[in-house]
């Protein structure tokens, strides 16, 4: 085990551990992509990674800058048209896990990637939803990875781009959604999971040297903690080496481009 790691490395590795060889995973760009590829390069070599551009079974040597990065198609088993990706693979229920990030999230794991402030006159206009709303609705389950901050974890979203658990409880089911929705939110300080009944995000694990007070200080709502909060296992030397190696290769490749 290593004691020398950053909060971001802890977040990425903790997120990677949630994946298995049996997962068919729809991967978001950024932190989700890093986590999924760390899983592929460590404990889940047979995981199937799918990106929104239609690449299936991709095994990138460097992390992509966008879904259009040639690295994805170059290393994929095959590539399908985007309409087929969404209609046949995603809406057809063939993807077990979606891995998303966002600019903002609320206590029911709804995500905002559209605007901060009023829609017509926003303080910040964000990149938008892309395929995330469909991923959030149609994948068997959703993992979310985001750094914990008051700016990102907010009491109320100005705009819901991707449906989490809506207003809580059985809201997804009442809307006719048959998938589980978000089942885990991994941050750089702790791990949340939805309460089985209310669906409110609840801290189930806290990372090394992080206090409950720190978690609360960095969250925009009153945090609920599970009856038994675990200590997140620290990264292993292998996990850190794999993550740092792919980050170094990515940096080198993008600097040369």
Query: What DSSP designation does 15 have?
Result: H
Helix residue ranges per DSSP H, 77-232:
82-84, 132-138, 171-174, 212-217
Inter-residue contact 38 to 215 (CB < 8 Å): no
- List, for residues 32-45, the tens digit of each pLDDT value: 999 999 999 999 99
- Cβ distance 39 to 47 under 8 Å? yes
Distance CA 20, CA 200 (A): 25
Q: What is the mean pLDDT of residues 101-112?
A: 96
Question: Domains of the chain: which residue ranges?
Answer: 7-252
Q: What is the pLDDT of residue 35?
A: 95
Q: Which of 9, 52, 134, 193 is catalytic?
A: 52
Instruction: Tell me the C-alpha distance between 191 and 90, whole Å.
Output: 26
126: pLDDT strictly greater than 70:
yes
Give Cβ neighbours of residue 120 (< 8 Å, ≥ 6 apart). Answer: none
- What is residue 113's three-state secondary structure? coil
CATH classification of 7-252, choosing from 3.90.1150.10, 3.40.1260.10, 3.40.1080.10, 3.40.1010.10? 3.40.1080.10
Report the predicted TM-score, pTM, of the whole model to 2 decimal places. Answer: 0.94
The pair of structure tokens assigned to 199 is: 């669906």
Residue with tokens 């198609």: 73
- Mean predicted confidence (pLDDT) in 24-28: 93
Mean per-residue pLDDT, 215-240: 97
What is the helix, strand, coil percentage profile of the chain, to 5? Answer: 30, 20, 50
Residue 237 falls in the annotated catalytic set = no
Q: Assign 228 a pLDDT band (cuts: 50, 70, 90).
A: very high
pLDDT of residue 2: 54
Confidence of residue 155 (pLDDT cuts 50, 70, 90): very high
pLDDT in tens, 156-189: 999 999 999 999 999 999 999 999 999 999 999 9
Mean pLDDT of the residues in the chain: 94
């Amino acid at each position: 085990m290593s004691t020398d790691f950053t909060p971001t490395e802890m977040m990425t590795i903790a997120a990677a551990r949630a994946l298995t060889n049996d997962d068919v995973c729809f991967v978001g760009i950024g932190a989700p992509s890093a986590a999924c590829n760390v899983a592929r390069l460590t404990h889940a070599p047979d995981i199937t990674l799918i990106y929104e551009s239609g690449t299936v079974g991709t095994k990138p040597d460097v992390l992509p800058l966008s879904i259009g990065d040639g690295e994805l198609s170059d290393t994929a088993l095959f590539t399908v048209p985007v309409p087929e990706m969404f209609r046949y693979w995603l809406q057809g229920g063939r993807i077990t896990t979606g891995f998303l990030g966002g600019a903002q999230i609320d206590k029911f794991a709804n995500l905002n990637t559209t605007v901060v402030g009023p829609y017509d006159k926003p303080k910040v206009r964000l990149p938008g939803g892309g395929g995330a709303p469909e991923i959030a609705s149609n994948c068997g389950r959703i993992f979310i990875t985001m750094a914990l901050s008051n700016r990102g974890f907010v009491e109320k979203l100005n705009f819901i781009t991707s449906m989490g658990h809506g207003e809580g409880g059985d809201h997804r089911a009442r809307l006719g959604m048959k998938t589980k929705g978000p089942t885990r939110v991994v941050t750089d300080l702790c791990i949340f999971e939805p309460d089985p009944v209310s669906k409110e995000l609840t801290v189930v694990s806290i990372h090394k040297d992080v206090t409950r007070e720190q978690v609360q200080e960095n969250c925009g709502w009153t945090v609920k903690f599970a009856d038994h909060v675990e200590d997140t296992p620290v990264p292993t030397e292998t996990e850190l080496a794999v993550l740092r190696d792919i980050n170094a290769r990515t940096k080198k490749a993008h600097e040369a481009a």
